[in-house]
């Protein structure tokens, strides 16, 4: 995870509910560029806090780490690989997966990265519950799980207390993109999705709408609190 200490005073207007923007399906590079623009605008006081929701074209990403073993042999992967400035090992993004990128000012939200990660987990757990799925945390691991199956991954970056990157929750039943890597560097992990766990097809649109409402509520808190 990329982070830095910033002793500057809170930015004017921070703490109000963030905007939610649906970007549709787009490449990882285009989404990263959108995040960079939003981070710069928020840092300069010329843009709002925002939560981007979207779906990616097929891609593998990995954080800034010397250990790329979770990618296996990149030359044999079926989709492109992008090294990016988030924390964590390799993961897969693609159609049927809902991705969320909150651009938030943590200088008004407690300046606590651990609490921020737990708040994202809280939102994803509530999202699963909305579709009748009992999800939770796994001790010592970041993300959201259904039993021993992982349904959502989290990897964030922080620049002068402004967040970028975020979460990905599997919605559709096709998880074949994960089979070529070791997801999040966890050997033997089984990935799952909202559709597989519910026993019926859940649309990306319904997951998107539920996520927008849930995270608007969570991130409207000036200081994110630990879930009970």
- The predicted-structure confidence for 122-138, as pLDDT tens digits, reads as follows 999 999 999 999 999 99
Segments in the chain forming alpha helices (H) = 28-44, 113-130, 194-198, 204-219
CATH number for the domain spanning 60: value is 3.30.930.10
Residue 1 within a domain: no
Q: Which domain holds residue 70?
A: 19-219
Residue 5 within a domain: no
Residue 215 within a domain: yes
Residue 7 within a domain: no
Known catalytic membership, residue 184: yes
Q: Please, are residues 161 and 109 in contact by the beta-carbon 8 Å criterion? A: no
Q: Which of 50, 62, 124, 184 is catalytic?
A: 184
Q: Please, are residues 70 and 62 in contact by the beta-carbon 8 Å criterion? A: yes
Q: How far apart are CA 2 and CA 10, in angstroms?
A: 20
Residue-wise pLDDT tens digits, 43-57: 999 999 999 999 999
Q: Is the pTM of this model over 0.95?
A: no
Residue 78 within a domain: yes
Residue 13 within a domain: no
Q: How many domains does the chain have?
A: 1
Q: What element of type H or E holds 53?
A: strand 50-56
Residue 226 within a domain: no
Residue 130 within a domain: yes
């Amino acid at each position: 995870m990329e982070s830095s200490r910033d002793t500057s005073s809170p930015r004017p207007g921070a703490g109000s509910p963030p905007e939610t923007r649906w970007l549709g399906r787009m490449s990882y590079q285009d989404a990263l560029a959108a995040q960079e623009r939003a981070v710069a605008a928020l840092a300069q006081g010329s843009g709002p806090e925002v939560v981007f929701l979207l779906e990616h074209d097929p891609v593998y990403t990995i954080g800034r780490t010397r250990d790329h073993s979770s990618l296996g042999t990149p030359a044999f992967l079926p989709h492109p690989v992008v090294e990016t400035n988030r924390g964590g090992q390799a993961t897969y993004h693609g159609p049927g997966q809902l991705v969320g990128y909150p651009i938030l000012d943590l200088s008004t939200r407690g300046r606590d990265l651990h609490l921020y990660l737990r708040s994202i987990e809280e939102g994803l757990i509530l999202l699963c519950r909305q579709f009748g799925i009992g999800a939770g945390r796994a001790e010592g691991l970041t993300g959201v799980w259904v039993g021993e199956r992982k349904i959502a991954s989290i990897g964030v970056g922080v620049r002068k207390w402004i967040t970028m990157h975020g979460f990905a929750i599997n919605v559709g039943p096709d998880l074949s993109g994960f089979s070529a890597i070791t997801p999040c560097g966890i050997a033997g992990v089984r990935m799952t999705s909202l559709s597989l766990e519910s026993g019926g097809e859940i649309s990306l649109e319904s997951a998107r709408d539920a996520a927008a409402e849930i995270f608007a509520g969570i991130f409207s808190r000036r200081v994110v609190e630990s879930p009970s």
